[in-house]
Amino acid sequence: MIEQLGGFLYVVLGTIFVALFGIGFGLGVLGVDRKLTAHMQARIGPPLRQPFIDIRKLLLKENIIPENAISWLFNAAPVFALAASVTILLYLPIGGLPPVLGVYGDIILIMYLLTVPALAMVTGGFASGSPYATVGAQREMITMMAYELPLATVFIALAWRLARAGVQDPFSLASLTSTPIWSVAGPLGIIGALILLIVLIFVTPGELSRVPFDTPEAETELAGGLMVEYSGKNLAMFYLAQGVKSVAMASVIVALFLPWGLSEFVPGIPALGILLDFLWYIVKVLAVLFVSVSLIRVAMARFRISQVVTMYWIYLGGLGILGLTLLFLDSLGGV
């Protein structure tokens, strides 16, 4: 009974910590992204605290519900988007800390949870009754179907290679982080893993609806698309969900490809090791988002929706299959 109560308290307190950390760090990540993007475009850009200022202003404003909207669905969508984004973080390791719900899920569950915020946005877009939001929702659905192929290929390829190496429960995040792909793969496998890392980097802006895969919002075409009718607290929750999901997506890449910490360099000092791992995790997340979001955003213009599908199904899907093939050939050499 005492152990069950302790486990319950751990989950409750861990959930509160992860939610607060995800929201705070997510807003900080959005601020860093805007600042770095501005500097790369020879602009000064907004201050790093600008996302916090924006959220504060939105939370003080009134929610406006369109006349033709399905009000309860319109209001529920941003709540589900934020809740799902926070839930993803509960299954992911943060720094040197184990995931709050790590024993209850695996990488396949995370793959499905990543679609929930996007589905919430689609639902909110359709429920708003706006023609602009409807077009944006249709584009979001197409984009989701497009990037799921390369995303699933990456996850399955990594887990399959670990299974071939004799790792127990290869779909578990604990197995994927404790036995990095780099430690079991040979030369061909390392090349294949690098290709899969590149694929996942280009899937990230699609998951986050960022340039060049932001066709569902496309301000110059759809006046904001999915978000055109949202305001006040509802828009604030969608904005928070975007920040938290950015942290979650980067954390997935860190867990799969960059799981190493710094605690091993300070043996005998657990507290210092945990602190170093936590700070190192933040650095890795910022680095991943810089490459996968900020850099791509500056280097490329928005794709048409047809180009989004071609990019994910043909080019990135093909690269993912190539990476899987190289891992397969590498496993044959190691048998």
pLDDT digits (tens, 9 = 90+) for 123-168: 998 898 888 888 888 888 999 999 999 999 999 999 999 998 888 8
The CA-CA-CA angle for residues 280, 169, 317, to 5°, reads: 75
Amino acid 334: pLDDT: 54
Residues of the chain with pLDDT under 70: 1-7, 103, 218-225, 268, 333-335
Amino acid 138: pLDDT: 87
The CA-CA-CA angle for residues 140, 142, 143, to 5°, reads: 65
Which structural domain, as residue segments, surrounds residue 171?
2-334
Amino acid 49: pLDDT: 93
Amino acid 4: pLDDT: 59
Chain-centroid distance of CA 285 in Å reads 10
Amino acid 209: pLDDT: 87
Q: At how many degrees (to 10) do helices 131-164 and 187-207 cross? A: 160
47-57 burial, b for 16+ CB within 10 Å, e for fewer? eeeebeebbee
Amino acid 153: pLDDT: 95
User: What one-character DSSP code corresponds to residue 97?
Assistant: B
C-beta neighbour count of 208 within 10 angstroms:
22
Provide the sign of the torsion angle of the four alpha carbons 69, 83, 114, 47, taken in this order: positive
List, for residues 273-306, the tens digit of each pLDDT value: 888 889 999 999 999 999 999 999 888 888 888 8
Give yes or no for a contact between 305 and 139, defined as CB atoms under 8 angstroms apart: yes
Amino acid 123: pLDDT: 92
Give bridge partners of residue 77 from the DSSP assignment.
none
Which residue type sits at 13?
L
Q: Which residues contact 126 (CB under 8 A, 6 or more apart)?
A: 133, 134, 137
User: What one-character DSSP code corresponds to residue 315?
Assistant: I
Put simply, whether the predicted model's pTM sits higher than 0.75 gets the answer yes
Amino acid 335: pLDDT: 46
Q: How many domains does the chain have?
A: 1
